[in-house]
Amino acid sequence: MGGFSHPVWDTWVYNPSVRVFGKKFSNWWLALLVPVLIACLPLLLMGFFVANDLAGALIGPPAIWNRTFHSPPRSDLAGQYVETERRWDRSTSGPGAEFELRADGSMRVSGLPQDAITSTCTLSGSGSWTGPNDDQQVDLIVDSDGSPGSCPSGAYQFLQLTGHSKPYGFYWVLGDPDSGTGIWFKRR
């Protein structure tokens, strides 16, 4: 008996060379795959994170095609806005959120949830607004009305301007900006 013989064993393990288009090549290059893969692993991970951020910018709320590319005059933003869609994993009761931005810089808000990592409250009260800034965001400075469950008085961010012309809309980010949870508003 001649011993063990198998096509794979004979071709890849025992035979130290391979023929490609009639030329002989050594099989020892396969041993380099492991260090090359280990060296490329950080690049693959960085590529994953870059692709994730790019996907969030393109399809994350608000998607890049829904964002305003220029800062409109404040007078174009003045008006009353009502909730049209809510993407949030928490149940709500009562009427939807709404707010009013006035041309003089004052504002009124009611029923707008604010989701911090450690707590959740509702923005209700009056105050002022600033913006839009370079990121097309409007900041709300709220004097709380003190109702049960309402947020303390202070400045609140992440009201993002949407649309390319009048009437503009807004998107309110709830929780982590990358989570995709938030509320869409349109002008009444």
Contact status, residue 162 vs residue 67, Cβ threshold 8 Å: yes
Copy the structure tokens of residue 178: 């990358």
Is residue 95 located within the same domain as residue 40? no
Whether residue 41 is contained in a domain is answered as yes
pLDDT by residue for the chain (188 residues), tens only, comes to 456 665 555 555 555 566 667 777 676 666 777 788 888 889 988 988 888 777 766 666 777 777 788 889 889 999 999 999 887 766 666 578 899 999 999 999 999 998 877 778 889 999 999 988 888 889 999 999 888 888 899 998 888 899 988 899 999 988 877 777 889 999 98
Contact (CB, 8 A) for 145 and 136? no
CA dist list (Å): 179 to 89, 92, 171, 185: 11, 19, 13, 18
pTM passes above 0.85 = no
83 and 141 share one domain: yes
Counted domains in the chain: 2
Residues 180, 86: contact at Cβ < 8 Å?
no
What is the domain extent for residue 159?
Answer: 64-187
- Contact yes or no for 57/67 (Cβ under 8 A): no
